[in-house]
Each structure stands twice: as structure tokens, then as C-alpha cells.
Amino acid sequence: MAAKPKLHYPNGRGRMESIRWLLAAAGVEFDECFLETKDHLTKLKKDGFLLFQQVPMVEIDGMKMVQTRAILNYIAAKYNLYGKDLKERALIDMYVEGLLDLNELIMHHCIQPADKKEQHLATIEDKATNRYFPVFEKVLKDHGQDFLVGNQFSRADVQLLETILMAEECKPDILAQFPLLQVTEWTVLMSFKARISNIPTIKKFLQPGSQRKPPLKEEDLPKIMKIFH
């Protein structure tokens, strides 16, 4: 019987969090080996476990997979969360890539110098509410279905929920905004959020005690930086 996937990363969100979300949503149990020190990372490198000397690394199905997108693509395809054909896959990829861009922006917030933080937050808010969320609100509104693509749960839905929750951590009422130029309330996204949060595997992941990681606290940043630099 196949062993559980094993995740190698520091004990925080970073680039591993989307992978945790996808495995959890697919109902796949996984183990985690947390990198706590630079020596730990050095050992992984010396042992030849990291193809490009980087984490995330996930041991899965006899492979030591690296590169976040490669890992996400593999998990999504393996657990049928990647659409039923090339065209659905194309749509899923477009949505996911957009969301990963927004995720990346949010992820970088914690490393902004103090004098740039406020402006960066404004950028996140602007991009979320003007560039990204309107797309998904419209997609869901136009087809009226529960899921983004192909009337079936996919990695795009998982990624959208993850990103909505991350954006809300930056600005709790981000989904209840009335953007200046539009009189729109993100009603469809709000109901999407509630619906997807209630999917049993996801509901479990959202509960305390799961392997979901909290946002990075400022005081924990130096420790993380020390591992990588």
C-alpha cells in the first residue's frame, strides 16, 4: 500500500500551503517534516533530495517532487481535480495561475519594509477587488453553477477559496466592499465561499488542529529567513 505523501518545508504557509490545501481537499492524508534550521536544509541538499536545492519538496508515489506547480499539477491530475479534458484544464490553469499571482502578492506582504507596508496592502486590495475577484464573480454568475469549471469540483475552486480567505486576513471585509465605480456586492463569491467551505474534506481542514498553517507572524520571520539565507 502506498505510503502517505511527506511534505518537507518550514512550519508555515509559504509555497507549501496551496499543496496542503489540495491534498486536504482531495481527502489525502499526509505527513510533514518541518525544516527548523539551516542545517536541516543543508542536509536535504547534501543527501541529493532536492532537485534544484529548493523546497517545497514532496515525497509522493516514489518521487521526490519539487517545484510547487509541478507538485500541484500532479496531485490535481491524480485525484481528478483537473477537469475532464484539455479545454477544462485550460480554464482551470488560467484561473489557478491568476489566483497564484494574487497569493504571491499577499505572501510578500510580510517581508515588506515597514514604510512600504501600507502601500503594499493597498495594492493587494486594489488587485483583489479590481483584477481578480471580479473575474470569478462573473464566471460563477454567468453559468450559475456551484463550481468554477465543468460543473464539477476542481483545484480551481480549492485555490479560489484559499485565496479568498488569505485576502480576508489582509482586509476582513474585502468581500463586502462596494468598489467605487461599481455598485456590486460580491454576493456570488460570498455564497461560493460558504458552499466550498462546507465540503466535508475542506470543512475538516478549516477546523483547529488541522494541518492548515496560520499566517506568518512578524516575530517568526527572522527564524524563517535564517533557514534560507
Partner 1 sequence: MAGKPKLHYTKGRGKMESIRWLLAAAGVEFEEEFIEKKEDLEKLRNDGSLMFQQVPMVEIDGMKMVQSRAILNYIAAKYNLYGKDLKERAWIDMYVEGTTDLMGMIMHLPFQPADTKEKNLALIIERATTRYFPVYEKALKDHGHDYLVGNKLSWADIHLLEAILMVEECKPDVLSAFPLLQAFKGRTSNIPTIKKFLQPGSQRKPPPDEKSVANVKKIFNM
Residue 84 to residue 88: CA distance in whole angstroms: 6
| Nearest alpha-carbon partner for 75 in 91, 58, 90 | 58
Q: Does 8 bind partner 1 (CB under 8 A)?
A: no
Closer residue to partner 1 (CB): 94 or 225: 94
**For partner 1, the closer CB: 166 or 202:** 166
Residue 77 near partner 1 by CB under 8 A: yes
Asked if residue 196 lies in contact with residue 145, where contact means CB atoms within 8 angstroms, the answer is no
Is 137 among the residues that bind partner 1 (CB under 8 A)?
Answer: no
Residue with cell 484544464: 89
From the CB of 158, what's the least distance to partner 1, in Å?
Answer: 17
Q: Does residue 94 interact with partner 1 by CB under 8 A?
A: yes
Q: Is 2 in the site for partner 1 (CB under 8 A)?
A: no
Q: Which residues contact 196 (CB under 8 A, 6 or more apart)?
A: 157, 158, 160, 161, 202
How many other C-beta atoms lie within 10 A of the C-beta of residue 155?
28
Among 93, 137, 157, 162, binds partner 1 (CB under 8 A): 93
Nearer to partner 1, 160 or 202 (CB): 160
CA pair distance 14, 9, nearest whole angstrom: 9
Count of residues engaged in binding partner 1, rule: CB under 8 A = 28
Binding piece for partner 1, criterion CB under 8 A, among 15-23, 70-78, 107-115, 183-191: 70-78
Burial class (CB in 10 A: 0-12, 13-18, 19+), 113: exposed
When asked if residue 131 is in the footprint of partner 1 (CB under 8 A), the reply is yes
- Interatomic CA distance for residues 202 and 81, integer angstroms: 14
Three-state DSSP state, 66? strand
Q: Which member of 33, 63, 176, 225 binds partner 1 (CB under 8 A)?
A: 63
What x-and-dash track marks residues 26-55 binding partner 1 by CB under 8 A? -------------------------xxx--
- CB of 218: closest distance to partner 1 in angstroms? 27
Q: Helix and strand tally (H, E) in the chain?
A: 10, 4
Q: Does 97 bind partner 1 (CB under 8 A)?
A: yes
Which residue ranges make up the site for partner 1 (CB under 8 A)? 51-53, 61, 63, 65-70, 73-74, 77-78, 86-87, 89-90, 93-94, 96-98, 101, 131-132, 135
